[in-house]
Structure 1
Amino acid sequence: MKKCAFLSMDSLENFFAYDDMAFEPLQKLGWQAEHVSWRKPDVDWSNYDVVVIRSTWDYQSDASAFLACLETIEASSARLENPLKLVKWNISKDYLRDMQQQGINIVPTLWFDSFELQQIQQGFIQFACQQLVIKPLISANADHTYRLTSQNLRDMHQQLTTEFAKRPFMLQPFLPAIVEEGEYSLFYFAGHYSHAILKRPKSGDFRVQEEHGGLLQSIEPCEEMLTCSRHALASLPEDALYARIDLVRHQGEFALMEIELIEPSLYFNMDPLAAQRFADAFVECFGRG
C-alpha cells in the first residue's frame, strides 16, 4: 500500500478540519494517509509517495519556514501537491493582479507595501464606499483582516501602522453582498467540479470562517458561477490537485475573491460524496496503491 502524508499543523484543536473523511476512501483505493505537521523536524519525506498540503493554517506566521519545509519535500522522492511552483505563486494575494490581467473579474483592489493613513483614507474616495477591508498579502483565517470606517480608521491608526509596518497588504471596498448574500465557494479536484457551498458571517461580523462563527450551506451553483470558476482554473500557471474558488456578487456580477490552492478547507462534510470524489481524483493523478 502506498503512503500519503496530509501536511497539517501541530494541533487542530481549535479548528474545524475534515481531512480525515478522505482517509477511508483513499485506503480502499490502496493509499494509507496520515497527518504530519509541517513543523515536525527531521521527517524523512521520502517515506511517502505523495505529500498533500492540507490544514497548515498557521503557515502565515512564518511563511519562509513553511516554504523551506515545502522545498525539502520537493527535494525528496515524494510528490508534493499542490506543486511548489503553484504554492509560491498563490502564497501572496497579489496573484490576483495576474488573474485580473488575464481578464478575470476580481474584487476591486489597491496594493500597498507600507501603511500610510492618507492612502487608506483615499481608498474611501477611490472606491466610492463607506467601508473598506484591509488584509495582509500573506494571510489565513482572516488574521490581521479588518473592516474599516473613517471613524475606526482614526481609532486604529496606531495599531494598523504597527501591524502593517513591514507587511504588504491589500485594500478593498467592503462589499455588502458578503453579509446580505454571502460568499460562494466552489471545489475542484484534478480539474473536475465536486461541490459548492455558501458561507455567511454571523450577525455583526464579516468573516465567513467557521472559527469566527460563519454559517455554511450546500448549494447548486448557477452557470455563471461555474463559468467564472472554469476561467479562473484555466488561468493557473500549473494544474492543481485541488482548488477552492471563492466568489462574491459585486455590481450584479460574480467577482473572484480568492482562488485557494495551498490550505483551503475542502469541506468534505458538506457533500456526502466529496471525500470520495477527492480520493478518485487523487488516484486519477497518482494511480492506485
Structure 2
Amino acid sequence: MADSVLQYKLDCGDYIFSRTIPAVTRLHQTYRPIPYRVLVDGFGFFDLREHNLCAPVRSEKMSHLVALVTPCAKPSAGDDPFSRDDILIAELHRRQVKVESLDWDDPEAIWKRFDLVIIRSTPDYHQRSDEFIQWLTKMASDGVKLGNPYNLCKWNINKKYLKDFAAKGVKIVPTEFVTDTGSSLKQIMKQRRWNTAVIKPSIGANAFMLYKVASSEAAEHFEEILVTMIRKHGGGMVQLFMDSIHTSGEWSLVFFDGKFSHAANKVPQDGFKTQEQSADSMSCSEEPPKYVLRAGVRVIRHLPTTPLYARVDLMVGDSHTREVVLSELELIEPSLYLGHCKSAAARFADAIMKKLKQ
C-alpha cells in the first residue's frame, strides 16, 4: 500500500490547498490519519472540520510515473495561461499517474525510472543546442521513453525541416536559408523582389533574434546580425513578410496523438510577432476554418512517426485564394494553450495514457 494516497483539498477563494497523506496498512485494512488543522501559506491554520472537509476526495493507487521537463522544476500554473501544466498534472492524477517536474539539464535526474518523459518547457535549448542534442542522444541510448521520440525532436531543432516539407509539396512561407557568411541580405531581398522581410536564426525559439526588415535599403543594418545567426545559431533564415499577419493572423493547430484537438488564432495589431505574450488578439477554437484544418492535418500526415503532441503554425497568404502556408512545426516545447480550451488538457492526458500503454 506504499503507493496508496489520501487527498484533501481546502478551497479558500482563489487558493486551493491540496494535501497528500501516506496510507497505513493494518490487518488488511487501510487507515488514514486525518489532520484536522493544516497550515496554508499566506493564510495560517485552518480547521478542516469547520469547512466540512474531513472526508477524503478519494484513495487510489498511482499506476505510472511521468516526468514533465520544465525549467526550475516548477510546472507552469495560473500565471502562464498558455501552457498551464498544472491543469495537465491534475488530469493525469485523475488517471492515477504520478508526475514529477525536472530540468532537462538536472545532473541528478535519473530518467530511466520514469515510464515516460515529456518535454514541456526548455527555454534555453536553442542557445545550448549542442548540449540539448547530447542530452537527447543520451536519453535515446539509455532507452528512456520520450513523449515525442528522439528522431523527431532532433530533426525539429533546426528549422531547415521546412525544406523537407517543401520537397513533399507542402507550401511554406517563402524562405531563403542562408549558410554562407558572404551572403547579402540586401541582395536576397532584391532577387526575390521582397519589399519587406523577416530574418531569424535556423535554431531559435520564442522570437529569439527575430527582426523585421522594412526594405532592401534598410537591409544593410541587419547584415552583421545575419552573420551572427549563421555562425552561432545553425544558419539564418530570410522570409517574406506576409501582410496577412495583421488581418488573418497566424493559426496554431494543436494535435495530440496525431488527432486535431484545438486551434489558436493570433493577430498582432501594432507589431508583427505572434508569440502569445506579443499578440494583441488571440482566440481559441475547436473548429477552425476547414481549409486551415486540412492544411494542418496534411503536415502531420507527412511525419514519419505520429507525435504525442504537435503544434502546426500556419498563415493564410491570400484571403481570396485562401492559400495556407506552413510557418513552423513545433514538436519540442510548444505552447499548447491548455488554459484556453476547456477539454484540451483531458485530451492530452488521454493521449499520454495511450502512449504509456504502448
Same-fold status (TM-score > 0.5)? yes
1:228 to 295, 312, 315: 295
1:160 and 1:109 map into 2 onto residues whose CA distance is 14
Report the Cα offset of residue 159 of structure 1: 4.0
Task: Tell whether the 8 Å contact from 2:266 to 2:279 is kept in structure 1 after alignment.
Answer: no
User: Judging changes above 3 Å, is the alpha-carbon distance between structure 1 residues 186 and 47 closer, same or farther for their aligned structure 2 residues?
Assistant: same
**1:285 matched to 2:352:** no
Report the Cα offset of residue 176 of structure 1: 0.5
Of 26-35 and 239-248, more deviation after overlay is shown by: 26-35
1:211 is matched with which residue?
Answer: 277
1:270 and 1:110 map into 2 onto residues whose CA distance is 34
1:23 and 1:238 map into 2 onto residues whose CA distance is 25
Task: Give the TM-score of the pair, scaled to structure 2.
Answer: 0.75
1:4 is matched with which residue?
Answer: 66
**1:176 matched to 2:246:** no
Task: Tell whether the 8 Å contact from 1:111 to 1:169 is kept in structure 2 after alignment.
Answer: yes
Report the Cα offset of residue 116 of structure 1: 3.7
2:158 and 2:98 map into 1 onto residues whose CA distance is 32
Task: Give the TM-score of the pair, scaled to structure 1.
Answer: 0.92
Q: Secondary structure at the match of 1:268?
A: coil
2:8 is matched with which residue?
Answer: none
2:71 and 2:304 map into 1 onto residues whose CA distance is 27
1:28 is matched with which residue?
Answer: 94
Task: Tell whether the 8 Å contact from 2:201 to 2:229 is kept in structure 1 after alignment.
Answer: no
Count of residues in Structure 1 that have an aligned counterpart in Structure 2: 286
2:281 and 2:221 map into 1 onto residues whose CA distance is 30
User: Judging changes above 3 Å, is the alpha-carbon distance between structure 1 residues 280 and 152 closer, same or farther for their aligned structure 2 residues?
Assistant: same
Task: Tell whether the 8 Å contact from 1:9 to 1:58 is kept in structure 2 after alignment.
Answer: no
Task: Tell whether the 8 Å contact from 2:186 to 2:217 is kept in structure 1 after alignment.
Answer: no
Report the Cα offset of residue 54 of structure 1: 1.0
1:179 and 1:127 map into 2 onto residues whose CA distance is 22
Name whichever structure is richer in strand by fraction: 2
The percent identity for this pair of structures is: 35
Task: Tell whether the 8 Å contact from 1:243 to 1:259 is kept in structure 2 after alignment.
Answer: yes
**1:72 matched to 2:134:** no
Question: Quick one: higher RCO (CA 8 Å, sep 6+), 1 or 2?
Answer: 1
1:246 to 287, 306, 313: 313
Report the Cα offset of residue 96 of structure 1: 0.7
1:114 and 1:42 map into 2 onto residues whose CA distance is 40
User: Judging changes above 3 Å, is the alpha-carbon distance between structure 1 residues 151 and 223 closer, same or farther for their aligned structure 2 residues?
Assistant: same
Cα deviation code 1:35-59 (max 9, x no counterpart): 2111211311112110001111210
2:147 and 2:163 map into 1 onto residues whose CA distance is 24
Of 150-159 and 180-189, more deviation after overlay is shown by: 150-159
Name whichever structure is richer in helix by fraction: 1
In structure 1, the gaps of 5 or more residues are none
Task: Tell whether the 8 Å contact from 1:184 to 1:197 is kept in structure 2 after alignment.
Answer: yes
Of 88-97 and 161-170, more deviation after overlay is shown by: 161-170
User: Judging changes above 3 Å, is the alpha-carbon distance between structure 1 residues 101 and 89 closer, same or farther for their aligned structure 2 residues?
Assistant: same
RMSD between superposed Cα atoms in Å: 2.1
1:136 and 1:199 map into 2 onto residues whose CA distance is 22
